[in-house]
Amino acid sequence: MFELGVEGIIKQYQTYLKAYIPPNISHTAFDKNIKKNHVICIDETRVVLQEGDSDYIHANHVKGDPFLNSFICTQVNFTVI
C-alpha cells in the first residue's frame, strides 16, 4: 500500500472504496452530523470527543492488517477536496 504514494491511494479510494459501506455497521452519529461529512464515519470505531459542545469529529480508530500500528484517520476539510 505504501508504495502507491498519495496519488495511487486516492485513485484506489475513488475506484474501489468511495461507495463502499461495510455490512452490519451503524452510523448514527454520522447521520446526525451529515452536513459535516462526505465519507461515512461508523460508530463502532469513531473517535469520541471528551470536551466541547459536541462529542462528534469525523475520525475513526484504525487497526489491523496490513498496518503494524493503530492510528486515527480523519476526513479532510471540504475546501481541500
At 5-60, the pLDDT tens digits run: 888 888 887 887 766 777 888 888 888 888 877 777 888 899 999 998 888 888 99
Question: Looking at the domain assignment, is residue 73 inside a domain?
Answer: yes
Question: Is 59 exposed, middle or buried (CB count within 10 Å of its CB: 0-12, 13-18, 19+)?
Answer: middle
**Does residue 76 lie in a domain region?**
yes
pLDDT confidence bin for 1, thresholds 50/70/90:
low
pLDDT at site 49: 92
**Domain range for 51:** 23-80
pLDDT value for 18: 67
Domain count, the chain: 1
User: Does residue 42 belong to any structural domain of this protein?
Assistant: yes
* Per-residue model confidence (pLDDT) at position 70: 92
Cell numbers 466541547 label which residue? 52
Model pLDDT, residue 9? 82
